[in-house]
Structure 1
């Protein structure tokens, strides 16, 4: 069989189908991993109560979000509980508050996590196919280049949403107030202000770009951490993060590849008729 004959079948997944596969993976990953982070935050709040203005990190398995505590005792992260550990918290939350409480705070983060994941995986596959058609199947730099460009695109699209969401967390906005908020910010600081924080995010999510000039505040922060806590200070919280991120990546990639395989078979069947 001619090897070239297999190429159309392998790459016969349309961009829309890639979007559907990555969207399914993003939603499934969030549903599977979010309870772990909800329990972690509840345990943290139990040992060190969250006060108004205090920040904590919330993750749905795909993205980390810096959240600012609001007033009110009814907030999901402030609900009282006497938990002796992860399993105890899991069982007591289900028994006392209902199973839906394990996905508290999920909807707002999905607004950004899903499009970011869809953009990244779809762009990555499309760029990989394009570069392979131009440079050849065996070019080792293709995954690296495609990954860099795809991550740049995802970060660039999502940065304004992340900035607006972070600013809005201390107060509930109506759609009219949201429009006024964005309009005021653009009129005062220009459109570029919506991408404030883009550079540090790129340095975090695109490690290949660390050859860029490090004259920004992120570099100063890193130097201060090393000066105070040593090099290990940069890796604080690494083990808990790996415990959560490893299964999240496995679920996301497996679901995405399964989705692509499903669409490939569907497309192949259509071509036979």
Structure 2
């Protein structure tokens, strides 16, 4: 490996953590909106929140401002692993292909992004499960810390519980990466004449990339969140029917709630992805220039 090979990994991890801190409350509202309204789960049969703003205000009023950051530590831990591997792998593999094969195209970028997104998300899945459980904890009346949440999942569901929803998680990450990273690179290159390699370019490119990734990934994200939030042991949710897997969750969600259920939480998803990508890419680009 060259003496510069480690830098995309470090920059990716640091920028991801900064972006996560800045946008986490929006992510919490997205998760709350996605798990409500499931007719097969008696605990979430009614709609408690009526949109992102209402969810934000209710959580702050009923559970305190601190609750808006429930699950922040597993989220940061996730970004430290997922972000590091995802962005580091994407830029490193792309650079290797460009260096040895002199081939840079949208198709190559998409393939590199899919590979990086799927691998990194699968590795970081346990932190994602803990984040979702902690975000939903206040809704169910019991906020817990990171270690207590880990113990609860491990005790009742074993190691397999930490990889619950890993299939849609990897699919979602692959879709987001396949749209977000190539679109950002494409926009950045084509805006170079107008803005140069400056913050304005990074801002516009990341904003455009976030819209595409939000539209493409939200349906998978809804399924992923629901799978991660359900229990393996049915007697923990008396009278509730649990999903048997990704396909079953897709089918039952569509049958019980209709197509638009797959876009529950879309607004906070997009509202979060926009600032997240802006913070991430600007931080990443500045780190590259700094070092």
TMscore range, shorter length: 0.5 to 0.7
1:98-137 correspondence runs (5 A): 103=69, 105-137=71-103
CA–CA distance in structure 2, aligned partners of residues 136 and 113 of structure 1: 31
1:26 aligns with 2:16: yes
- Contact 1:132-1:139 at 8 Å conserved across structures: no
CA RMSD of aligned residues (A): 4.9
1:149 aligns with 2:115: yes
Deviation at 1:126, TM superposition (A): 0.5
Deviation at 1:206, TM superposition (A): 1.9
Match of 1:200 in 2: 168
1:147/1:241 CA distance change after superposition, 3 Å: same
Deviation at 1:183, TM superposition (A): 10
Match of 2:256 in 1: 228
- Contact 1:13-1:260 at 8 Å conserved across structures: no
1:251/1:204 CA distance change after superposition, 3 Å: same
Q: Deviations over 1:107-150 (max 9, x none)?
A: 23212222111110001111101122233233332111110111
Query: TM-score when scaled to structure 2?
Result: 0.52
- Contact 1:34-1:103 at 8 Å conserved across structures: yes
1:89/1:195 CA distance change after superposition, 3 Å: closer
1:153-168 correspondence runs (5 A): 153-163=119-129
Q: Secondary structure of 2:106's partner?
A: coil
1:101/1:13 CA distance change after superposition, 3 Å: farther
Q: Secondary structure of 1:138's partner?
A: coil
Q: Secondary structure of 1:15's partner?
A: coil
- Contact 2:20-2:75 at 8 Å conserved across structures: no
Higher helix proportion? 2
Structure 1 unaligned segments of length 5 or more: list them: 1-11, 44-52, 55-84, 210-215, 264-273
1:247 aligns with 2:237: no
CA–CA distance in structure 2, aligned partners of residues 251 and 16 of structure 1: 21
What count of residue pairs does the alignment treat as equivalent?
203
Moved more, 26-35 or 241-250: 26-35
CA–CA distance in structure 1, aligned partners of residues 154 and 54 of structure 2: 43
- Contact 1:23-1:114 at 8 Å conserved across structures: yes
1:137/1:258 CA distance change after superposition, 3 Å: farther
CA–CA distance in structure 1, aligned partners of residues 146 and 271 of structure 2: 37
